[in-house]
Amino acid sequence: MIHTPRSEALRYLGYRGAQPDEATAALLDERIQAVEGAADPRWTSVEVPLTLRPGGVELGDWSIDSEKLRAHLEGCTAALLFGATLGVGVDRLIARSAAGQVTRAAMDQAVAAALIEAVCDDACDQLAQRYPGKYLRPRFSPGYGDFPLTAQPELLRRLDSPRKIGLTATDTCLLAPIKSVTAVIGVANTPGKCHAGGCATCSKTNCAFRRDTT
């Protein structure tokens, strides 16, 4: 089982490097246990051929208009479609906490967000091992830049993710279970330039949860 990076959970709770007091720390540890107990992390991926074209990319026979995705996949020879989820148990846990124990609910939310990212990072490490001598670019998800959220259903369908890992989208293209991630990952022959800064590269510079890179 992948463990929750505690510092990331704290960052989602608004602690930008600050340390929590004793009571908060104790509750956080309890909620990390609860979320990890409720989580059933699963992920899946599929390799697709990649062609870059002006204004977008072709992933096999799937054509996506997105300058940002195209720029992100520059220099890649193939792409991976990727999906991961913590499962509905975490949704139920958060809903349960929300009924009268909102501190717990907020913590569950933050812990689960940190955990799914850790699950994705671990999955990508495993994927990287399948491509010796190649380099995997960071995950690029629908909703980033001009890669539209409406790509979500098609991405899930191509992953067969409802059947494989129970990951679905609502009619409004939100992922269900809630704590889930989908992404396109470039496979390249060279390390190349990439968004090593993660969230620090986002254009929303006044975000309260922005990771401090200084």
Partner 1 sequence: MKFIDALHSQRLFFDGGTGTLLQAQGLKGGELPETWNLLHPDRISNLHRAYLKAGSNILCTNTFGANALKFPAGGQFDLEELVTAGVRLACEARDADPRPDVFVALDMGPTGKLLKPMGDLDFEDAVALYAQVVKAGAAAGADLVLIETMSDSYEAKAAVLAAKENSDLPVVVTTVYGENGKLLTGGTPASTVALLEGLGVDALGVNCGLGPAQMVPIVKQLVEYASVPLVVNPNAGLPHACDGCTVFDVGPAEFAVHMGTIADLGVQILGGCCGTTPDHIEAAVDVCRDKPFTPAADKGRTLVSSYAQAVEIGPAPVVIGERINPTGKKKFQQALRDHNIEYLLNEAFAQEEAGAQVLDVNVGLPEIDEPALLVEVMEALQAVLPLPLQLDTSDPEAMERAMRRYNGKPMLNSVSGKAESMAALFPLVKKYGGVVVGLALDENGIPPTAEGRLAIARKICDTAAQYGIPKKEIVIDPLTLTISSEPEAARITLEAVGRIKQELGVSTILGVSNVSFGLPKRELVNTAFFTMALQQGLDCAILNPNNAAMMGAWRGYQALMGLDPQCGRYIAAYGGQETTAAPVSSTDGPSLTDCVLRGSKEGAAQAAKAALDGGKAPLDIVDSVLIPALDQVGQGFEKGTLFLPQLLMSAEAAKAAFEVVQNAMSGEDRPSQGAVVLATVKGDIHDIGKNIVKVLLENYSFAVIDLGRDVAPERIVEAAGQPGVKLVGLSALMTTTVVSMEETIRQLRSTCPQVKIVVGGAVLTPAYADQIGADCYAKDAMATVRYAKEIYQG
| Minimum distance, C-beta of residue 86 to partner 1, in the bound complex (Å) | 11
Residue type (1 letter), 72: H
Q: What are the beta bridge partners of residue 27?
A: none
CB of 76 vs partner 1, minimal distance in Å: 14
The minimum distance between CB 139 and partner 1, in angstroms, equals 18
- Nearer to partner 1 by Cβ, of 78 and 194: the residue is 78
Instruction: Output the CA–CA distances (angstroms, integers) from residue 61 to 76, 82, 139, in the order listed.
Output: 17, 17, 21
Q: Are 175 and 182 in contact (CB under 8 A)?
A: yes
Q: Which two tokens stand for residue 123?
A: 């999955």
Cβ of residue 33: shortest distance to partner 1, in angstroms? Answer: 16
Tokens linked to 22: 């004793």
Residue 170 or 213 having the CB closest to partner 1: 170
Distance CA 114, CA 124 (A): 15
Nearer to partner 1, 70 or 104 (CB): 104
Closest by CA to 45, choosing from 7, 81, 76, is 81
For residue 99 the two structure tokens come to 């009924």
Interacting residues toward partner 1 by CB under 8 A: 13-15, 18, 20-21, 23-24, 27-28, 40, 46-48, 60-62, 78, 87-89, 91-92, 94-96, 98-103, 105-107, 109, 130, 143, 149-150, 156-158, 162-163, 165-166, 168, 170-174, 176-178, 208
Which of 117, 123, 118 minimizes the C-alpha distance to 159?
123
Q: Which is nearer to partner 1, 92 or 193 (CB)?
A: 92
Minimum distance, C-beta of residue 3 to partner 1, in the bound complex (Å)? 18
